[in-house]
């Protein structure tokens, strides 16, 4: 009898607060793959990651997946890799899902710019953004470092900003769920649900982050206007988070069934 092939070794490097990392983790777990996770600290982790990626110039962004010797960049490619590596159809047909991911990517880009600009306007959030080892008394005088880093991040991704992309993505999700009538966009739970549910993380986040965000930073991630306009979708996302079959580790504290 032939033995099943051993699973390749998977290491995911990401930022636990980042919606792109959340998509990648959710996809790997939904595919039933074992993986190690390593938290990336902006700026501080960059030289080490560049070394491991053998990338000395150009932008680096996370999540990235090291799959044995292969390097897989971006949440979409990681999810596609997970679908193939698991040899299961648990993420659904990625070709069909691509249009959903496009809506999600545009929405997340708007969300990021909104969050980064909210942080730039909030001195306490800037102080929270400094690395944990910096003593409280130094945080105020060193706030400028966090401001520089946030301004750099704003510039790096400003070209992706498209006002109204979050509302557009959520309206499409609402309509997709209405048409399917199963509670899942494509009839069964798939990566389409993952990529659209993660959009809600930029208006009403529930995924557990480690290290945890400070209270002022947490506030910057909330958008009360959109959250009340799309309360039905927040309840939908909460149902996915609560059910074991559709949940993942960053939603562990919500799992009930
Ligand atoms: N399209 C990429 C986007 C990834 C991305 O934008 N990552 C950001 C998260 S904020 C990042 O790495 N930021 C840290 C940095 O740019 O230094 C994906 O799907 O993974």
Residue 245 falls inside a structural domain: yes
**Ligand 1 atom index nearest CA of 78:** 20
Averaged pLDDT score across all residues of the chain: 95
Nearest CA to ligand 1 atom 2: 74
Residue 43 confidence (pLDDT) above 90 = no
Stated length of the chain: 257
CATH number of the domain bearing residue 16: 3.40.30.10
Same domain, 182 and 223: yes
Task: Note the pLDDT tens digit of each residue in 101-146.
Answer: 999 999 999 999 999 999 999 999 999 999 888 999 999 999 999 9
Which pLDDT belongs to residue 207? 98
Same domain, 148 and 71: no
- Burial-class residue 224 by CB neighbours within 10 Å (0-12, 13-18, 19+): exposed
Q: Which string of b and e fits 8-23 if b means at least 16 CB within 10 Å?
A: eebebbbbbbbbbbbb
**Mind giving me the DSSP string for the chain?**
-PPPPPPPPEEEEE-TT-HHHHHHHHHHHHTT---EEEEPPTTTTHHHHHHHHT--SS---S-EEEETTEEEESHHHHHHHHHHHTTS-TT--HHHHHHHHHHHHHHHHHHHHHHHHHHHT-HHHHHHTS-TTS-HHHHTTTHHHHHHHHHHHHHHHGGG--TTHHHHHHHHHHHHHHHH-SSSTBSB--HHHHHHHGGGGGTS--S--SSPPPHHHHHHT--HHHHHHTHHHHHHHHHHHHSGGG--GGGGGG---
- How many angstroms does the Cα of residue 134 sit away from the middle of ligand 1? 25
Same domain, 32 and 108: no
Question: Helices 19-30 and 75-85, interaxial angle, to 10°?
Answer: 0
Q: Do 113 and 179 meet the contact criterion of CB atoms below 8 Å apart? A: no
Same domain, 111 and 137: yes
Same domain, 243 and 146: yes
> Where among 41, 68, 85 does a domain terminate?
85
The residue whose CB lies within 8 Å of the most ligand 1 atoms, and thus the one to mutate among 27, 62, 104, 111, is: 62
Residues within a 6 A CB radius of ligand 1: 15, 18, 20, 42, 61-63, 74-76, 112, 156
> Where among 46, 63, 85 does a domain terminate?
85
Q: Tokens representing 205?
A: 């986040």
Q: What is the number of domains present in the chain?
A: 2
Same domain, 162 and 242: yes
Task: Note the pLDDT tens digit of each residue in 228-240.
Answer: 999 999 999 999 9
Residue 5 falls inside a structural domain: no
Mean pLDDT along residues 69-93: 95
Any idea what DSSP says for residue 40?
P
Q: Give 64's strand partners.
A: 13, 73
Q: Do 147 and 41 meet the contact criterion of CB atoms below 8 Å apart? A: no
Residue 196 confidence (pLDDT) above 70 = yes
Same domain, 124 and 70: no
Q: Do 78 and 66 meet the contact criterion of CB atoms below 8 Å apart? A: no
Residue 142 falls inside a structural domain: yes
Whose tokens are 């039933």? That residue is 32
Residue 192, domain extent: 94-254
Nearest CA to ligand 1 atom 16: 61
Same domain, 156 and 219: yes
Residue 31 confidence (pLDDT) above 90 = yes
- How many angstroms does the Cα of residue 141 sit away from the middle of ligand 1? 28
**Ligand 1 atom index nearest CA of 19:** 9
């Amino acid at each position: 009898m032939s033995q099943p092939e051993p699973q390749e070794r998977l290491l995911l490097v990401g930022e636990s607060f980042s919606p792109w990392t959340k998509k990648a983790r959710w996809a790997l777990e939904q595919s039933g793959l074992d993986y190690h996770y390593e938290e990336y600290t902006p700026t501080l982790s960059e030289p080490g990651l560049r070394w491991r990626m053998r990338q000395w110039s150009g932008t680096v962004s996370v999540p990235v997946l090291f799959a044995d010797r292969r390097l897989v960049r971006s949440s979409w490619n990681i999810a596609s890799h997970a679908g193939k590596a698991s040899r299961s159809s648990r993420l659904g047909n990625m070709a069909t899902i691509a249009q959903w991911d496009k809506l999600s990517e545009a929405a997340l880009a708007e969300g990021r710019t909104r969050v980064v600009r909210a942080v730039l306007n909030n001195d306490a959030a800037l102080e929270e953004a400094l690395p944990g080892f910096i003593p409280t008394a130094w945080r105020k005088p060193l706030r400028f470092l966090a401001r520089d880093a946030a301004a750099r991040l704003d510039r790096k991704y400003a070209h992706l900003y498209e006002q109204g992309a979050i509302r557009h993505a959520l309206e499409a999700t609402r309509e997709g769920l209405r048409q399917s009538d199963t509670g899942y966009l494509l009839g069964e739970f798939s990566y389409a649900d993952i990529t659209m549910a993660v959009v809600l993380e930029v208006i009403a986040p529930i995924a557990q982050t480690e290290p945890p965000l400070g209270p002022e930073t947490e506030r910057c991630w909330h958008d009360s206007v959109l959250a009340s306009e799309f309360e039905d979708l927040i309840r939908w996302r909460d149902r996915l988070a609560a059910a074991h079959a559709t949940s993942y580790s960053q939603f562990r504290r919500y799992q009930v069934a």
